[in-house]
Each structure stands twice: as C-alpha cells, then as structure tokens.
Amino acid sequence: MKLFRRKKLINWHKKSAFELLPANWAIKALLGLILIGILYLFIALGNLRFFIGNYFSIAGLNKNYLVILQNQYELRPTGGFISAYGILKFRFFIPTDFKIEDSFKIGGHEYIDPPEPLGELLADPWYEGHTFRDANWNPDFSQSAQNLISFYQKVYPKTEFDGVVSVNYSVVENIVEELSPFKINDQEITQNNLFHFLEYETKNIDKHDEESLGNRKNVLKDLASSLIKKSIFNLPTVAQTLDQALLEKEIQLWFANQKLEKKIQQKKWAGNYLGNLNTDNLGVVFANLGGKKADRYVDKKVDYTVTFQENQAPQANLQITFTHHGDYNLVSDRLKGYLRVYIPQNASYKKTNNQKVSNENNFQVVGQNIFIEPGESEIISFSYDLPPHVINKDKYFLNLYKQSGAEVDYNVVLKVPGDMSFDSPDFDIRENRSFYQKKLINDENFIVTLLPDTTPPLIYEQKFDDLNQLAIVFNEKLSPLNANDKSNFEIRDNNQINQNNDEVKIKKVEYDGDKIIRIYTEGISDQPLERYKITIKNLQDKAGNYLSGEEKVITAVQRFDK
C-alpha cells in the first residue's frame, strides 16, 4: 500500500513538472507579451513601418549612408547650412558605426567655381570656392545629395555611399521638446534653451587653435548620445516626431537603389523639387549667405494673386515680404542672401536689371540678391503671365512647393471676372474671389474649378451725367451684341415732382466696352429731382445671361452729383 502511494506521488510530481508548474504558463504569457509588444511597436511606428519592411534592402551586407545636419536658422536651398555630417555604416544588416563630424573638415580640394551668386555673396580673402558645406544649392534634394557625395569623394575618394539623409535642426528641437529635460555637461537641456546652449558651446572656443576648432562641435555628439538613450524608452513619441518631420520635408532621403528611391518618392520623403509642365507652379527658395542665424528672427510671407481674364492669359502677381526682427549680435546680423522664385517654365516674365533668369528642374527661375538690416522690412514683387495650360477644361491646377527648413505664410488669392465663381475644398470661396491662407508645411497640390457665370447682369447705378445724358452702370461686362442698340431703351417722364411733361427722345446709345452704357437724349427739361422711368430689354452679359425678365424698368432722378 505504501509502495502504491509512493508511485502515485512520483507520477503526480512528473505531471506537475511538465504540465502544471507555473513556469509553463509564464513562458506562454511571455510569448504573448512579446507578440503584443511587437504589435504595439508596429502600430506605434506609424509610417516608419516602411523601414521595417525594407530593412534588409536598406541595411544590406555592406552599406554606407551620408547623414548631413542642417541648420534652418541659416537657411539654404535644401533646408539649412550644413553644420555637421556623419557616416552611418551597416555591416551584415547591423548598424556598426555612426559619429558626427564638423562639416568644415571636408575641404582642402582643388578650387571649384561656385554657382554665380555664391561666389559673389560669399567672397572674401579666405573664400575657398565651392565646397561640401555649400553643395546643397539645388532645392531638389536628390540632386543636392549626389552633389554632396561628389564633394565628399574629392577628399575621401575611396568612400562609397548608398544614400544620403538630411536632418534639420528643427527635428532635434522637436525631439528635445518631447524628451526633455535631460542633462549635457551638467546643464539641464530643454527646447527653450537648446539653441543658446549649442551656440555658446560651439563659439566659446579659441578660434586660432586648430584643436579647439576641430573639436568645437563635439557637443553634438553628446547631444546625439543623450537623445538616442532617451528615445529607446520613448519610441512611440519619437516615431511620431520623425514621421511628422518626413511629412514636412525636415528630414529628406535619397537612395542610390532606384527601387528604394522610387518608393521614397511615392511617400513624398525624397525632397523632390521638380516643376510640372502642365500646371501653375510656385516655389520660393531663399539662401542666407552671410546673415549668421538671422533666419531665426526673419518673418517671411508670400502673397500670390492670380487674375483670370477673358480671352487673355491669367496674370500672376507675386509679392514676398521679409521682416527682420533681429539685432546685431553673436547670432544675428544684416541678412544677406539670394532669393529665387520658381514659376512655370513657359510663363511670360521680363526680368529687371538686377535679376537673373534661368531654367532649372522644369521651372523658370528668377533670382536676385537681397539685403535686409535688422528692424527693417523688404518687399520683392514679380508679375508675369501664366501659360494657358494652367487651365484645362475649366480647372486650374496649382502646385506650391515648400522649401525645407523654411517657415513661410502663404496667402493665395484667385480672381475671376463678373459673376463667375469657384469650387474647391481647399479654398475659402467668396463669390468671384477665393482665398487660401496657411503656413506651408509641405508641398501642396490644388485643383480649383472655375464655375461659369449663370447670373443675369445687375444694374449697379443709374444717374444723370448731364441734362440730356444718362449713365447706366452694370456690375459686370456686357455683350456688345445689343448694348449699342437704342431700340432696346425707352425713357419717359414720371411727372412725379413737376407736372411739366417731357417728351424724351433717344438720340444714341454708347457702350464703353466695360460696364457703362451712356444714353444721349433730347427733350429733358430742367426739373430738379424729377423721376424718369427707363425701360431696358435684350441686354446680356458676356456669358450670355439676359437681364432678368423680358423688360427691366428702373428709375433715374434728375440730379447732377459732382
């Protein structure tokens, strides 16, 4: 009996070891938590899941990526002055190395002629010609990325790159805002003091000591290290910030792999700046070439008005306003730079003496120097006729291009004549005017339908210009078909003030081609404030809409207003 109980106890123990012990359930729970964690991470990454799905194509067995750090407070065409760079290395699909270096280390090659405005505006006794740190001159990032690789290889010819990533300082600011506070060199860092901290650390050096100059941006390495450590525990927040940065062109990507590059372009992460030959295009690109970090203090506003005219090319009026709120100090100075506006390639534009006009990226490009002192404003204006193809089957096509790193308020106004109107989900429609007002955070593409005039013409005013001359003012242009025919008009004395009856005859009618018909009469006597009935028929506007009703009767008062 005891032996039987002992065997039963042993069997129970064996069963517990393999089926009943909590360790088995813990493993199942752990696996469940891992699956939940993966799902959570997959959801948290948002659009960044793209990099998981394409990880092996991006990482590869042996891949190098050039990473450039741009400061948008010293604005340049692809986002900002290239203050630092790094090389991200993958070996056997694993990131193995990344370190940040000062962009001034990429130099010392033969003299290369810079683009014309660069040579003029950057010229000084120590100017070295076109270099790596100024190679982002083309606002189309794919082209600037390849230029950057070319300049890097002039100094390090054996280094091959599989892509380029640009990161604007604004991205760092936004991540710091989400993850702060944290400490660097015993100083607490927040989004509010980050700019001052970095400027102080990089400028508080012996400028004539090569070692100090070479190490002046080591603080960026400390910052990057701190951000990476904190990001690991705040992945969803950081992922959302990076996702937004890609959307707003504050991070831009270029891949040598054409399949990857095509995918990036479809995501609109490639920083493309290519004109569409079938639409109206507008891009405003500014380069700060000697104003320190003045863009931190300069408001930029774009007012763009397009007036659609009958049987004429649409007329565009562009006004760019710069207002410098800065001062003369360590980080701010007179803003010296180069402004380029990118308009349709076939637009009819006549340059002034101080402008340069060229073709680039399927655009017509108008450029000029600009200088603004602290406390001052400057307005730069451009006028040109748009090519007819910007309208197709009563639809107007407009593309606005954002310059990476630029914060610019856009105010777009569209005008059509008469009682025409618009239809668009993006514009605020006010009769024959439509408005778009917003800070441009990414490229925008609009389709605006021009609605025909279906409203009869309206008589705005009727008045005596002289004793036997009356003017009828309409709200829109008329068809000249019947506007000059005196048989369409009749005038009679109302005898309301004076019983002296005037027998009024119409001698002739003249239409001025715009909005006024003048009626010349005989038989009207001097009867102040007397009323005269005017009967009008068969008049129509340019769209063919007749005056409402078979006849229109209005009253004119004998009064001669000055």
Question: 105 near 117, Cβ under 8 Å?
Answer: no
Q: List pLDDT tens digits, range 482-513.
A: 899 999 999 999 999 988 899 999 999 999 99
| pLDDT for res 222 | 76
**Buried b / exposed e across 30-58, counting CB within 10 Å, b at 16+?**
eeeeeeeeeeeeeeebeebebeeebeeeb
CB 36 within 8 A of CB 43: no
Residue 99 contacts by C-beta under 8 Å, 6 or more apart in sequence? 86, 87, 221
Confirm if 161 and 64 have CB atoms less than 8 A apart: yes
Residue 283 in 3-state DSSP?
strand
- How much is the pLDDT for 14? 47
pLDDT of residue 91: 92
Q: In CATH terms, are 50-267 and 459-557 the same topology?
A: no
- Determine the Cα–Cα distance for residues 67 and 84; give it in Å rounded to an integer: 9
pTM: 0.84
- How many Cα neighbours within 13 Å face the side chain of 29? 5
Q: What is the pLDDT, as a whole number, of residue 13?
A: 47
Other Cβ atoms less than 10 A from the Cβ of 273: the count is 27
Domain boundaries, the chain: 2-36, 50-267, 280-451, 459-557
pLDDT computed for residue 179 by the predictor? 84
pLDDT digits (tens, 9 = 90+) for 512-525: 999 999 999 999 99
What's the pLDDT at 214? 56
pLDDT tens per residue, range 53-81: 899 999 999 999 999 999 999 999 999 99
Q: What does 385-446 look like in DSSP terms, one character per residue?
A: EPPGGGEETTEEEEEEEPPTT--EEEEEEEE-STT-EEE-SSSEEETTEEEEEEE--S-EEE
The chain-wide mean pLDDT, for the chain, equals 88
CATH for the 50-267 domain, from 3.40.630, 1.10.150, 1.10.10, 3.30.1490: 3.40.630
pLDDT at 257: 96
Main-chain phi, psi angles of 421, to 5 degrees: -150, -170
Beta bridge partners, 405, equal: none
The CATH number of 459-557 is: 2.60.40.1220
Place of tokens 């036997």: 468
Residues 6+ apart with CB under 8 A from 395: 447, 448, 449, 450
- Successive 10-residue mean pLDDT values, the chain, 562 residues: 48 44 49 52 72 90 95 96 93 88 88 89 86 96 97 95 95 86 78 76 59 60 75 80 93 96 96 95 96 94 95 94 95 94 95 89 96 96 95 96 97 93 96 96 96 92 95 93 93 92 96 95 95 95 85 93 70
Q: Give the pLDDT score at 215.
A: 56
Note the CATH architecture for domain 280-451: Sandwich (2.60)
